Amino acid sequence: MTSKSERIGWLGAMAAGIVALGVSLAAHGAIVSGQPNGQPRGGNYKLGLPDLDKQLSLSMTQSLSTRQILPGQATNVMVYSGRVLSGSPDGLGAPIPGSYLGPTIEVQQGWSVSINMKNELGVPSVTHWHGLDVPDTMDGHPRFAIPSGGTYQYKFKVLNRAGTYWYHPHPDMQTGTQVLNGLAGLFIVHDEEEARLNLPSGKYDVPVVIQDRNFDSANQFLNNPNGIDGLLASTVLVNGKANYEHSCSTSVYRVRLLNGSHSRIYKLAFTDGTPLTVIGSDGGLLAQPIVYPYIMLSPGERVELWLDLRGKTLGTKSTLRSSSFAGAGGAQGVATLDIMNFSIDYPGEPDSRVLPTNLSEIQVYRLQDAVNVNTPKTYAITRVNGVGYLLNGAVFDMLGTSANEVATCGTLEVITITNTTSSPNVAHPIHFHGRQFQILDRTTAPSGVAGWNNVKDGVQDTGWKDTFMIMPQQTVRLLVRHGKYPGLYNWHCHNLVHEDMGMMRNFRLQP
């Protein structure tokens, strides 16, 4: 359990920690991992992976390495690497050449997955499967962090529907540092409902993991956050690369966007007006595609795009840009940043595919069906000077929950989050482990309306969510169907700096 005073000293301690890490990384030298020269993602399959005895067994390692990110000196990084022990050989994609990102895990719904995870980082760690519904001992709760040299055996059945999930470390107060150093990867689930749509696949299914980083003069990652904004860095990396360009043909692509940044919220659009046709969100496909004028993507959130480049002129580029916006508080939204280019380099094969009008079946939850319809659980975001932002009035407590952070497995509840009192008031990406939920509604107090108007047309609130952005002066109501596994699950702000400062709580599910 961490006391408040320990939390208060956190920023200083972290600054010391990164120095120590730099030393140990330098002493460690490079580790070569995984299979070289792979494609960004493994499969050549057309309709998802075969049901190869419905299981996937992986051996994975977290270790120290280096990557050439900027010209000049290589950057010390922490990486996930791995190999398939049994099951589909395409269950673990080849690493993106030169990227620090971990290999993409790719499975069918219903598979049993086991991952033997070895920690060779020199510091404790544990891995969380963001968005997946797994038993609490498999969820990467900080209480299960293992020391360097240790191994954790993750084993779970994939209950989730097709979608773009991801994995990253989750040790208490060190999640940000470890993600900053490179530890993260995608976890893609396929299912039969998705397969029937015949969406673009293989090389037409493109992951775009957006992260921002600051570098020091020796090209090393700089961990220089503040307690209000978190870490807003100036260099955008996509899939671990600066100035990212994806070479395309005049074809249709499925683009999976993940905001894997610490703190930065993006306001995304194409500079040439290419439509942003969203087909999926955190928890997979939407019921129907929705075209947005721009997309707000806060840390931890995902959207999937149907990107139709068939009408493009060869030799042109479509630039995905994050525009500045006001209203999210602090320095959030001040910068305009180019994210990446889709470079239209060669003619596509004839392709007559059409955007499906119906994508998936989503059972819409109703407020009147919630077991606590008259007594909503209400959690306030507040701030205490010298401590940081709090959820439900308290900092993270390793094993503790408050009386209002307990529920029965399988029940549908309404949960109200308020962001109306803290000063300074900033936007936060709020994330619940272990279940996908629906957003019932948002209410914005008069003083927040102008800010909300800057972002509201790009906030993707339909479909299944596990992370959502709450703006200053806002109240958001969620309808949450609690999972079937009892235990202790985290919920927290996915601004990793806020999370590590204690903006995280436990939620206990009882049988």
Residues that bind ligand C2O (CB under 6 A): 128, 130, 168, 170, 300, 431, 433, 490, 492, 494
Chain residues binding Cu ion by CB under 5 A are: 130, 428, 433, 493, 495, 498
Residue from 95, 39, 45, 99 nearest 69 by CA: 99
In this chain, which residue has its C-beta nearest to ligand C2O? 130
Choose the one of ligand C2O, Cu ion, none that binds residue 498, judging by a C-beta under 5 to 8 angstroms depending on kind: Cu ion
- Select 321 or 428, whichever has its Cβ closest to Cu ion: 428
Strand partners, 306: 254, 277
**Least distance to ligand C2O from the beta carbon of 433, Å?**
6
Residue from 180, 183, 185 nearest 165 by CA: 185
User: Per the structure block, which two tokens stand in for 354?
Assistant: 């059409």
- Select 306 or 491, whichever has its Cβ closest to ligand C2O: 491
Cα 207 versus chain centre, distance = 12
- Select 492 or 498, whichever has its Cβ closest to ligand C2O: 492
Choose the one of ligand C2O, Cu ion, none that binds residue 249, judging by a C-beta under 5 to 8 angstroms depending on kind: none
- Select 166 or 342, whichever has its Cβ closest to Cu ion: 166
Choose the one of ligand C2O, Cu ion, none that binds residue 383, judging by a C-beta under 5 to 8 angstroms depending on kind: none
User: Which segments within 149-272 are labelled E, that is strand?
Assistant: 151-157, 163-169, 185-190, 205-215, 221-222, 235-238, 241-242, 245-249, 252-259, 266-270
CA atoms within 13 A on the CB side of 325: 27
**Least distance to ligand C2O from the beta carbon of 276, Å?**
24
**Least distance to ligand C2O from the beta carbon of 140, Å?**
7
User: Which segments within 92-231 are labelled E, that is strand?
Assistant: 105-108, 112-119, 127-130, 151-157, 163-169, 185-190, 205-215, 221-222
Residue from 143, 114, 26, 140 nearest 75 by CA: 26
Choose the one of Cu ion, ligand C2O, none that binds residue 495, judging by a C-beta under 5 to 8 angstroms depending on kind: Cu ion
Choose the one of Cu ion, ligand C2O, none that binds residue 176, judging by a C-beta under 5 to 8 angstroms depending on kind: none
Choose the one of Cu ion, ligand C2O, none that binds residue 197, judging by a C-beta under 5 to 8 angstroms depending on kind: none
**Least distance to ligand C2O from the beta carbon of 299, Å?**
8
**Least distance to ligand C2O from the beta carbon of 180, Å?**
14
Q: Count CB-CB contacts under 10 A for residue 137.
A: 17
**Least distance to ligand C2O from the beta carbon of 210, Å?**
14
Choose the one of Cu ion, ligand C2O, none that binds residue 382, judging by a C-beta under 5 to 8 angstroms depending on kind: none
- Select 103 or 300, whichever has its Cβ closest to ligand C2O: 300
- Select 218 or 399, whichever has its Cβ closest to ligand C2O: 399
Residue from 398, 413, 409 nearest 486 by CA: 409
**Least distance to Cu ion from the beta carbon of 210, Å?**
17
- Select 433 or 477, whichever has its Cβ closest to Cu ion: 433
- Select 111 or 389, whichever has its Cβ closest to Cu ion: 389
3-state SS of 269-332 is: EECCCCCEEEEEECCEEEEEEEEECCEEECCCCEEEEEEECCCCCCCCEEEEEECCCCCCCCCC
User: Per the structure block, which two tokens stand in for 146?
Assistant: 């293992």
Q: For residue 464, give the 3-state DSSP assignment.
A: coil
Choose the one of Cu ion, ligand C2O, none that binds residue 492, judging by a C-beta under 5 to 8 angstroms depending on kind: ligand C2O
